Chains A and B, each alone.
Chain A
């Protein structure tokens, strides 16, 4: 809608359905309130649960007395961490990164120690929500408070309170013999950084900081679990991956995966935060104890206090260039909060720091730091926006010092296909330069600015992903098709799947319907995350649809008694192209009722491990207007340019870009976790955790650049993560352009901007 012109420019070939904007198949249910989300599901005879949470940031659990709660009429079950089976450490990858299942279990219900304010310690199930809440209040937990630590550098300091005595820093040599709050260190790069910095004509040094932020999905976590006497269970919940819910729940409860059937409900946003479990095993335990289905749901406050924020960061950057603007060295060292349990954003942060530039001498170091905050979880391009904020701010400052246009500086140093990433692996067919060129050509870049206004830009990228997905394409008896996937639809992917199937089959979009099956009704599929679904599940859709065509052609050949290769698929029809039957045709609708009278129904499965994914790059341009009296920053114009490979359904591609950009704007200007001296979260609600609203924003011009991925049948790269990467620096650079002040700490809230403008106070 916003940029058809740009799209045409890059579109390699015309498709019939790919690139169109049909109404999504789940649309009517969602605009009429009929769609069922996580908190909407109820089972007959269901009990209501409530969770008891720690008021302390760090404490030993001395005792939990549940007697009073258990004797309250209507209470049917109580659970504590002791109800989990004894678990051996086992590292699993469920899409957002590797986690130890012992930590996953302890995060669902603490055992021995609580590690953050809001950590779950016990749960109850009762006949009404009111009784459940009352019973939760009757559970008496005795704590022995321990010293706690929230800050990154404090947590790494000698003598800091230690969260885990069995975590030793990974990634250092020799292996440490003492446990540490630094759970992992990742270092990459090469060349002579110090030498190159010393010889550089211009250098910039900066320290950049931010506190954790939350994904902010509007749907709080909720689930219903029903665990039958025969050991088999059903779980209804919304998630980014019901297979991940199954494997994690089975692992922490030591159950066979086939005994758990997870029903995917519609999901009200996740952004990475719903790739794990919090409630499901607890509801399972309560269900087993009570013999009834149990519902657990979080309040907004619980979501803020106990679910995964993205890590805050301290990032040190040194970057140097020759007088002509050639970047010669970059040294980036960052520390990320991992919260209560080891997390995994450092690796992605290292990979996402400076790979978009050709720099001969680099050193990028990331450290994960344990502290008494909720366990960090993936948030859209996890680990990338933080470090990108630092690097793109520094590059902007460098451009200023060099007197070179910041867009030209980026173009001059931009990595292209074949250039090495920080890891040494060369880039594939990336579209970074194309994004920069599109920015240069965009009217926004050269539009005049008003008083107190400034323009900033920043670029960033995300690696995207492929991986395992299963899809079934079935022919119905009347010649329409169903596409069944195991990938939750978080932003319109059913429409994208139907488009790709219709394109492959050459039939109208409306003749293909896409549904998401539960874990027992389709093979394994990895989480919807990492910007993998349209790429990987889409690849499986195309593969299964191609097989359907082949099977139907061979059926037609048999029916006509001609050679298999004499039948071709043309736009939803089988056509005999050789021999005496040449020119004979049969439509799908005609053959569909006959297949049951041949060798059987036509239903093709593609279970694939999708390879060949390519990263996405984006370039954002932001105009701000700064109120020098109040420090308030208004975004007056915003353009987000991104290479997506191919946009299957451009509305939802633009929507991803716009939504990601706005999340980034919120991160830049307002959003932040605020902890008190007592280690407790002070802003666990939408009033004080201020996310952008409609009146804060202009239209977001999403410019879709299409440099197709040669390894996807329709050229898809992946869209969702990239757009949250550049906004932090784009906004900061625009504020700098408007005021001459560089703000290195997020958020750039009015008080901070005001203080920067009025240093005298």
Chain B
């Protein structure tokens, strides 16, 4: 999950069971305070290989979330 692995977590893999992406952000912020503040402007999540725009979606059946740098565009 570059660059956030090095910037925040010192690892590129974590085992968590969040119920949705808001919950995931909270948990990641617990591990690395400050992450929540930058998550909205800088992060995109891919849930099982698909970019997920809705952070409230239930993750009960999801197996992998990838944390990506958010890309905007011109």
- A residues sitting closer than 8 Å to B (CB atoms) are 91-93, 95-98, 170-175, 184-188, 215, 270-273, 275, 344, 347-348, 350-351, 378-382, 423-426, 428, 462-467, 527, 529-532, 609-611, 613, 720-721
CA distance A170 to B2 in the complex (A): 10
B residues 1-44 near A (Cβ < 8 Å) are: 2-7, 10, 37-38, 40-42
- Other-chain contact of B66, A170, A378, A424 (Cβ < 8 Å): A424
CA distance A187 to B5 in the complex (A): 10
- Other-chain contact of A382, B2, B5, B53, B72 (Cβ < 8 Å): B72
| B52 at interface, CB cutoff 8 A | yes
- Contact, CB under 8 Å: A464 / B73: yes
Q: Which residues of A contact B51 (CB under 8 A)?
A: 425, 611, 613
- Contact, CB under 8 Å: B72 / A271: no
Q: Which residues of A contact B70 (CB under 8 A)?
A: 93, 97-98, 347
Q: Which 7 pairs show the lowest CB-CB distances between chains A and B? A: A272-B74, A530-B73, A171-B3, A347-B69, A93-B41, A173-B6, A98-B41
**In chain A, what residue has the closest Cβ to B37?**
A91
CA distance A714 to B15 in the complex (A): 39
CA distance A211 to B53 in the complex (A): 35
CA distance A609 to B49 in the complex (A): 19
- Contact, CB under 8 Å: B72 / A380: no
Given contacts A423-B66, A611-B54, contact A344 B6 (CB under 8 A): no
Given contact pairs A95-B72, A381-B74, A462-B73, enumerate 19 new A-B contacts (beta carbons under 8 Å). Answer: A91-B37, A91-B38, A92-B41, A97-B72, A98-B41, A170-B3, A172-B6, A185-B6, A187-B3, A188-B2, A215-B74, A275-B72, A347-B69, A380-B74, A382-B72, A425-B50, A466-B53, A530-B72, A611-B52
Q: Which residues of A contact B50 (CB under 8 A)?
A: 425, 428
18 contacts between A and B (CB under 8 A): A96-B73, A97-B70, A98-B42, A170-B7, A187-B6, A272-B73, A275-B74, A344-B72, A351-B71, A378-B72, A425-B50, A464-B73, A530-B72, A532-B73, A609-B54, A611-B53, A611-B54, A720-B74
- Contact, CB under 8 Å: B73 / A529: yes
Given contacts A173-B10, A378-B73, A530-B73, contact A609 B37 (CB under 8 A): no
Interface residues on B, range: 20 to 34
Given contacts A425-B51, A425-B66, A611-B51, contact A93 B72 (CB under 8 A): yes
- B residues sitting closer than 8 Å to A (CB atoms) are 2-7, 10, 37-38, 40-42, 46, 49-54, 66, 68-74
Q: How far is the CB of A605 from chain B (nearest CB, A)?
A: 18
- Other-chain contact of B72, A96, A175, A186, A720 (Cβ < 8 Å): A96
Q: How far is the CB of A154 from chain B (nearest CB, A)?
A: 23
CA distance A527 to B73 in the complex (A): 9
Q: Which residues of A contact B40 (CB under 8 A)?
A: 93
- Other-chain contact of A465, B7, B66, B73 (Cβ < 8 Å): B73
Q: Which residues of A contact B54 (CB under 8 A)?
A: 609, 611
- Contact, CB under 8 Å: A187 / B2: yes
Q: Which of B7, B51, B52, B73 has the most CB of A within 10 A?
A: B73
- Contact, CB under 8 Å: A381 / B66: no
Q: Which residues of A contact B69 (CB under 8 A)?
A: 186, 344, 347-348, 350-351
- Contact, CB under 8 Å: A271 / B74: yes
- Other-chain contact of A171, B2, B10, B53, B71 (Cβ < 8 Å): B2
Q: Which residues of B contact A426 (CB under 8 A)?
A: 49
Q: How far is the CB of A32 from chain B (nearest CB, A)?
A: 29
Q: Which residues of A contact B73 (CB under 8 A)?
A: 95-96, 272, 348, 378, 381-382, 462-465, 529-532, 721
